[in-house]
Amino acid sequence: MKRIIFATKNKNKIVEINDIMKDLDIEIVSMEEAGIDVDIIEDGNTFEENAIIKVKSVMKFTSDIVMADDSGLEIDYLNGAPGVYSARFEGENTPYDIKNKKILNMLEGVEEEKRTARFVCIIAAGFKDGSIITTKGTIEGMIGYEIKGKNGFGYDPIFYVPEYKMTTAQMPKDLKNRISHRGKALKEMKYKLMERLGDMV
């Protein structure tokens, strides 16, 4: 079975990705499982740059396929912020309850039409021959007026999806995975990998 190393320390991501990729003859393992320990400095200006930085950092240690993602929340009223700074917004270790309240305050009094936002995810995959491909997934929504829901993580409790009349934190996990930025980018990557399966050895 072919192996892909996913450049993350987050075990939940590995579970989600293995689930989406399960009908391919590929095993996705974390850096830890692959015995790779590298501190990656994500200093790109875009999600794509950061995903590629992660892939390239791990490619130095292996000839397996390396995959990485980078994602975040873009709020139109804040000119796309927090964007690539989503994890670092208001401090990396600040609880999301506080980060989310801060965003609600920043949007206080802003009318509904101007509260549009999206989650964006870029997946990058790097191959033995040095080539790198990327896919992108987005989910459109708006910043709600209050914190709602207990599922998910991060900005989910303030990310309201009008089509489903709930925040992504109110969605059951499998619904969110199906329609999320990460789910969409991963599915597209799965199809691109299937096309390349022949020359992946």
Binding site residues, ligand IMP, CB under 6 A: 69-73, 86-87, 119, 152-156, 168, 180
User: Is-contact 62 36, C-beta < 8 A?
Assistant: yes
If the CB atoms of residues 21 and 123 are measured against ligand IMP, the closer one turns out to be 123
Active-site choice (70, 129, 156, 174): 70
Instruction: Tell me the Ramachandran region of residue 33: left when phi exceeds 0, alpha when psi lies from -120 to 50, beta otherwise.
Output: alpha
Select the residue whose beta carbon is closest to ligand IMP and give its number: 154
Structure tokens at 18: 């293995």
Contact 167, 148 (CB under 8 A): yes
15 C-beta neighbours (distance < 10 Å), count: 10
Q: E strands along 40-170, which residues?
A: 65-75, 116-126, 132-143, 159-161, 166-167
Determine whether 25 is an active site residue: no
- Give the residue with the Cβ less far from ligand IMP, 76 or 128: 76
| CA atoms of 59 and 55, how far apart (whole Å) | 6
Measured distance CA(46)–CA(49) in Å, rounded: 5
* Minimal distance, residue 131 CB to ligand IMP, in Å: 23
**Bridge pairing between strands 2-6 and 132-143:** unpaired
Measured from the CB atom, is 10 or 197 closer to ligand IMP? 10
- Closer by beta carbon to ligand IMP, 22 or else 85: 85
Catalytic residues: 70
